[in-house]
Amino acid sequence: MRYRPRRFRSLFGVSLDTCVVLWKRISLVDLDASMSIQKRHLLWALHFLKVYPPEIPGSASWGVDPVTWNNCIRRALRLLQHSLPKDPWRSCFRGAFDGSLTGVVDVTRIKIEMPSRVPWQYFSRKDGFHAVQFEVVVSIRKPQKILWVIGPWKGAVSDITIAREKLIPSMRGSELILGDKGYVGESDKIMTPKVGRERDLSDEDRIFNARHFRVRQLVERVFPRIKGWKSMSSTWRPDLELVGNAFHVICGITNYQFGHGEPLTR
């Protein structure tokens, strides 16, 4: 079956050229017989991420049983995560603004069904639903790229707790990133807005906050690209191990697209 370019992208989330590149990448790492994969399995995985069909209609649309469909998607996602370039965190300092400001950090949440065990640990008070969350850092300099991805974390964990666990210890001495009010408390590493009632802020503080807000929109514009994959904007149904594979794969594909000239927003 042939698809027009726009139709292909609406079904699989990438252009045909990018799909070919992804296939070449996973072909190189497909060394284990238990991980054998065919081209159609890559399409199943991309279609799953982009369209996110329920299991029975999804497998039926490709003419296979649900077990085969599920297993092949899982293999393809593991191979994609293994073969896509890793988050280029260690290269971020070369693109730092003013020698130290490297990126913008924020957390995005993926809604999940209420877990049967310890559901309160997954409940996000901020969003009002059960979720897993991922911490993302986007570069300041153009071309924008995702420098850092970590997760999934349980939805009840605060943004600053996540940052203190992995991100902050990985930062070098003079390195700085921008973050919203959820990161107040780590001023040596994360530059946050000036807090207080608007009328109590000085003119200098207001100007700083306005500039801070504009720069912080970099990460806010990346999240809609990630959520443009329906699997990331719907309620996640499969097991939570797979959501980590899916999120990292989508971020890797997004970085590839940024690196090949696609704009921050489409």
Q: How do residues 166-179 score in pLDDT, each as one tens digit? A: 999 988 778 889 99
- Pair 74, 197 in one domain: no
- Pair 128, 49 in one domain: no
Q: Which of residues 83, 108, 128 is at a domain's end?
A: 83
Report pTM. 0.90
- Pair 47, 115 in one domain: no
- Pair 112, 73 in one domain: no
In which domain, by residue range, is 204 found?
89-237
- Pair 184, 222 in one domain: yes
For residue 161, what pLDDT is reported? 95
- Pair 68, 108 in one domain: no
Reported as a single tens digit per residue, the pLDDT across 15-52 is 999 999 999 999 887 555 556 789 999 999 999 999 99
Which residues are registered as beta bridge partners of 107?
Answer: 135
Question: By three-state DSSP, how is residue 62 classified?
Answer: coil
For residue 94, what pLDDT is reported? 53
Tokens 């890793």 identify what position?
86
Query: Residue 25 has which token pair?
Result: 């990448």
Q: 217 vs 57, 84, 94, 118, CA distance in Å?
A: 37, 26, 21, 34
**244 domain-assigned:** no
Query: Residue 224 has which token pair?
Result: 């809609």
Reported as a single tens digit per residue, the pLDDT across 218-261 is 888 899 999 999 999 999 998 888 999 999 999 999 999 998 88
**263 domain-assigned:** no
**167 domain-assigned:** yes
Tokens 């390195």 identify what position?
175
For residue 102, what pLDDT is reported? 83
- Pair 95, 194 in one domain: yes
- Pair 144, 178 in one domain: yes
**73 domain-assigned:** yes
- Pair 136, 70 in one domain: no
Q: How far apart are CA 112 and CA 49, in angstroms?
A: 15
- Pair 221, 145 in one domain: yes
Q: How far apart are CA 245 and CA 250, in angstroms?
A: 9
Q: How far apart are CA 63 and CA 197, in angstroms?
A: 60
Q: How far apart are CA 187 and CA 179, in angstroms?
A: 10
For residue 32, what pLDDT is reported? 58
- Pair 77, 149 in one domain: no
**264 domain-assigned:** no
**233 domain-assigned:** yes
Query: Residue 79 has which token pair?
Result: 């191979």
**259 domain-assigned:** no
Domain count for the chain: 2
**140 domain-assigned:** yes
- Pair 101, 50 in one domain: no
